[in-house]
Amino acid sequence: MRITVNGETEEITEGLTLLDLIRERGLNPDIVVAELNRDIVARDNFAAVRLNPGDSLELLHFVGGG
């Protein structure tokens, strides 16, 4: 199924949770912030949120800045 991650359309396996996707991308869920269809997903809910076709997901983290 297709979803949008950080502005790019991607093919992902059906039934993945947000936590699965974060781990699959080699990311540490403890430092990632997620916004799904414009709603912030609390970190505690990463494992409970299942991704659906057409979802638009933003994954962010802190980088160097002034």
Partner 1 sequence: MQQDKLVIGGVELDSRLFIGTGKYSDDALIPAVCEASASQVITVAMRRVDRGGTGVMGHIPSSMRLLPNTSGARNAEEAVRLARLARAAGCGDWIKIEVISDTRHLLPDGYETAKATEILAKEGFTVLPYINPDLYVARACVNAGAAAVMPLGAPIGTNRGLRTREMIGILIEEIELPIVVDAGIGRPSQACEAMEMGAAACLVNTGIASSDDPVTMAMAFRRAVEAGRAAYLAGAGAVSHGEAVASSPLTGFLR
Residues that bind partner 1 (CB under 8 A): 6-7, 25-28, 31-33, 35, 40, 42-43, 58-66
Tell me which H or E stretch contains 40: strand 39-41
Least distance to partner 1, CB of residue 29, Å? 11
**What gap in Å lies between CA 62 and CA 60, rounded to an integer?**
7
Kindly tell me which of 42 and 48 has the beta carbon lying closer to partner 1: 42
Contact at 8 Å (CB) between 25 and 8?
A: no
- 7/53 with CB nearer partner 1: 7
- Choice between 53 and 63, CB closer to partner 1: 63
* H or E element at residue 9: strand 8-11
